[in-house]
Structure 1
Amino acid sequence: MKVKLSAIALTLPIALVTHTGCSLTDANKSDDIPSSGTSTSTDAAQEAETASGELFNLIEIKGKASDTGPGVMECGKKDLQRYFQIFHSWSFTPTSPQQLEATMERLKENLPKHGWEVVNYGPDTSRNKNLSLRADDDTKKFSVDITYRAKDNTPHLNFFVISGCYQIPDGKKIEQF
């Protein structure tokens, strides 16, 4: 799995702030991040890539996704040796940026048809007031934040997919990547 540290370095601090208490749950404390079951970090990363692939397919316009892989992070205040979360931060740059606002509307409409519940849609709190969409898939135990970066030099969509808490199986160690 490839990880471009620059993309993660730019996205991770924002995502960690917005996902404290991950929207998969109604709770506001990081201790209340929902369980995603038991898994190795490698298998959980593959699930995150699958979820991201499904989201990519819902974009429905031509363009290119960044080539980043999932990463492992701590799960709130839980035991760092036994619990972890998986995140997958990536971006999509279309061949025609004028289609992105309509793409966001289409995602808002189509995500629920694919098991995602849209929990927030509208401008974010940044200076640019980027259009942002947050959705949860309680079956897969993933949440996604999608942000339309219209005012960047190259308009694009940022995706931040994050899991609930996984517990590592007995006898296994959490791999960091």
Structure 2
Amino acid sequence: MSESSGSSGTKVVGTREQDEVNTEIKKVSSELYDLIGVKGTASKTGAGVQSCAGKDREKFYTMFHPWSLVAQTDDELAQAMERLKEELPKHGWKIVKYGQDSSASKNLELTADNDERKFGVHISFWRKNSGGDKNPPSLVVNVISGCYQVPEGQTVEHY
């Protein structure tokens, strides 16, 4: 969800209650977890709120839900990334980027947008010991919503 409308800032995708977007972003994360299809240890992080670029922070917001999944082997996660590349388009997602990042580790990353649902996702695959220190094989996931306006008479709750 990286659309912008020139110098006026981020494109607003609609008006929604924050609680609705919070519930939906967790649902999207759960669906992504199911598509990944690897039995590992998922982090237990909550969703957060941030301002939309160039917009009144009391009226406009985007939500994000970062989480990670630690697995036993690199192979499990390499297969999961391939599965995501194939399966996400069948579920309304458009793959925007798929390939190695510019880090020394050349982590595999996937970025996709779901225009109908107004969510985007970025997933990085960190091979074992690729983080500059010892780390287990993991996927680092960040789901982000489009920019919404709160309903009339409400203000954005920042958390």
- Give the alignment's TM-score, normalised by structure 1: 0.81
C-alpha contact (below 8 Å) 1:130/1:147 kept by paired residues = yes
Change (3 A) 1:88 1:65: same
1:61 CA displacement: 1.7
Q: Which has the higher helix share?
A: 1
C-alpha contact (below 8 Å) 1:30/1:76 kept by paired residues = no
* Distance (whole Å) between structure 1 residues aligned to residue 126 and residue 156 of structure 2: 34
Q: Which runs of 4+ in 1 moved over 4 A?
A: 27-32
Change (3 A) 1:92 1:38: same
Say whether 1:56 aligns with 2:22: no
RMSD: 1.7
1:78 corresponds in structure 2 to: 55
Q: State the structure with more CA Rg.
A: 2
Identify which of 113, 127, 143 aligns with 1:136. 113
Tell me how many residue pairs correspond in the alignment: 154
C-alpha contact (below 8 Å) 2:73/2:137 kept by paired residues = no
* Distance (whole Å) between structure 2 residues aligned to residue 145 and residue 73 of structure 1: 17
1:136 CA displacement: 0.2
1:173 CA displacement: 1.9
- 1:6-57 Cα deviation digits (max 9, x unpaired): xxxxxxxxxxxxxxxx43x3x5858553433112222211111111111011
2:143 corresponds in structure 1 to: 161
The amino acid across from 2:24 in the alignment is E
5+ residue gaps, structure 1: 1-21
